[in-house]
């Protein structure tokens, strides 16, 4: 059974990080914990970790500052959950996680915690950061260490950045745009003459070049697509609102009417801007 000290800590609103760690330990206790938490593994929790990270990004995109502490707390809980599972398996504990990130930040910021000059541009500091990371990895292939679990667009950009560091990159956006036109033509040809698998491959090639264009233009493609998704949602909901005022639903409308309303929504946004 939990000790009195444990109960006091779990219910202490000012218990801070020790309180959260004790809550997680109790949830995973084989005898008295929560059956769902006990049966989880790294693999089953990983999707929740990614989901919580995306929800943090969503709150930031929406500037929902009142929601952000809760979303960051959800993400922190994921770290605590993984650390407790690792401790249960005899692998490592939360203190090891904290030590690892603290040591890494000190090592990667010699201009703050060491003797190197702070008189460098942010771009040069980014170059230095990547140089230090490469030294930490030791001898390796150029693309090693780019996580497979990243969103595909983000991973494409990171792969391209790694290749660019050894000179495998176009010098400007002109070459990227030319390659994009080439890939678009190949996709059209594949659509008309090739197999479904080949169309799939050509579409992926075009997406990869789009990610490269975003990198050259210093655009985060994930953020840009999230913004486009939000804009589409916002405008389509305006279409629904106007149709509802006319006593209709979208499936009772047609493309021509909805396209007109879409343009009206666009004009409305420009007026408000």
Residue 125: which of 140, 142, 108 has the closest Cα?
Answer: 108
The pLDDT > 70 percentage for the chain reads: 92
Residue-wise pLDDT for 48-74, tens only, equals 998 999 899 889 988 999 999 999 999
Give the predicted TM-score (pTM) of the model: 0.63
Block residue for tokens 């509802």: 244
- Average confidence (pLDDT) over 148-157: 90
- Average confidence (pLDDT) over 143-155: 87
At 203, the pLDDT band (50, 70, 90 cuts) reads: very high
At 137, the pLDDT band (50, 70, 90 cuts) reads: low
- Average confidence (pLDDT) over 187-198: 91
Q: What is the pLDDT of residue 2?
A: 55
Judge contact between 155 and 146, C-beta under 8 A.
yes
Q: Does residue 138 have a pLDDT over 70?
A: no
Task: Look at residue 17 and give its three-state secondary structure.
Answer: helix
Q: Does residue 84 have a pLDDT over 80?
A: yes
Q: For residue 60, give the DSSP letter.
A: H
Q: How far is CA 172 from CA 14, 178, 210, 215, in A?
A: 54, 11, 14, 11
At 42, the pLDDT band (50, 70, 90 cuts) reads: very high
Top mean-pLDDT range of 86-90, 105-109, 139-143, 223-227: 86-90
Tokens for 204?
Answer: 């992926």
Q: What's the CATH code, domain 4-107?
A: 1.10.287.1080
Judge contact between 208 and 159, C-beta under 8 A.
no
- Average confidence (pLDDT) over 226-235: 92
The C-alpha atoms of residue 57 and residue 155 are separated, in whole angstroms, by 17
Q: H or E segment at 223? A: helix 221-245
Judge contact between 244 and 175, C-beta under 8 A.
no
Q: Does residue 170 have a pLDDT over 70?
A: yes
Q: Does residue 1 have a pLDDT over 70?
A: no
The C-alpha atoms of residue 57 and residue 119 are separated, in whole angstroms, by 31
Judge contact between 116 and 43, C-beta under 8 A.
no
Q: What is the pLDDT of residue 145?
A: 82
Q: 140-219: which CATH topology?
A: Helix Hairpins (1.10.287)
The C-alpha atoms of residue 87 and residue 205 are separated, in whole angstroms, by 43
Q: What angle do CA 158, 164, 167 make, to 5 degrees?
A: 160
Q: What is the pLDDT of residue 129?
A: 65
Between 271 and 266, the more confident residue is: 266
The domain spans of the chain are 4-107, 140-219, 223-272
Q: Does residue 115 have a pLDDT over 70?
A: yes
Q: What is the pLDDT of residue 239?
A: 97
Residue 238: which of 216, 264, 203, 211 has the closest Cα?
Answer: 264
- Mean pLDDT (the chain) is 91
- Average confidence (pLDDT) over 217-245: 94
Domains 4-107 and 140-219 share a fold: yes
Q: Could you give phi then psi for residue 118, rounded to 5 degrees?
A: -90, 0
């Amino acid at each position: 059974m939990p000790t009195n000290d444990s109960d006091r800590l779990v219910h202490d609103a000012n218990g801070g990080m020790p309180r959260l760690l004790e809550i997680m330990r109790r949830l995973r206790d084989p005898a008295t914990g929560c059956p769902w938490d006990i049966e989880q593994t790294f693999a089953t929790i990983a999707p929740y970790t990614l989901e919580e990270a995306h929800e943090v990004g969503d709150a930031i995109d929406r500037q929902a500052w009142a929601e952000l502490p809760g979303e960051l707390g959800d993400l922190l809980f994921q770290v605590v959950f993984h650390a407790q599972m690792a401790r249960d398996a005899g692998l490592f504990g939360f203190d090891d996680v904290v030590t690892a990130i603290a040591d890494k930040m000190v090592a990667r910021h010699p201009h703050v915690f060491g003797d190197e000059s702070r008189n460098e541009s942010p771009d040069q500091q980014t170059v230095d950061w990547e140089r230090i990371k490469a030294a930490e990895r030791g001898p390796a292939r150029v693309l090693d260490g780019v996580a497979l679990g990243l969103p595909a667009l983000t991973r494409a950009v990171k792969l391209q950045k790694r290749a660019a560091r050894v000179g495998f990159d176009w010098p400007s956006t002109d070459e990227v745009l030319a390659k994009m036109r080439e890939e678009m033509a190949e996709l059209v040809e594949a659509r008309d003459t090739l197999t479904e698998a080949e169309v799939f491959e050509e579409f992926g090639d075009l997406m990869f070049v789009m990610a490269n264009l975003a990198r050259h233009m210093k655009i985060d493609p994930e953020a840009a697509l999230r913004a486009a998704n939000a804009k589409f949602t916002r405008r389509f909901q305006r279409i629904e609102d106007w149709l509802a005022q006319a006593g209709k639903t979208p499936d009772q409308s047609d493309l021509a009417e909805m396209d007109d309303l879409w343009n009206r929504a666009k004009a409305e946004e420009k007026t408000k801007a």
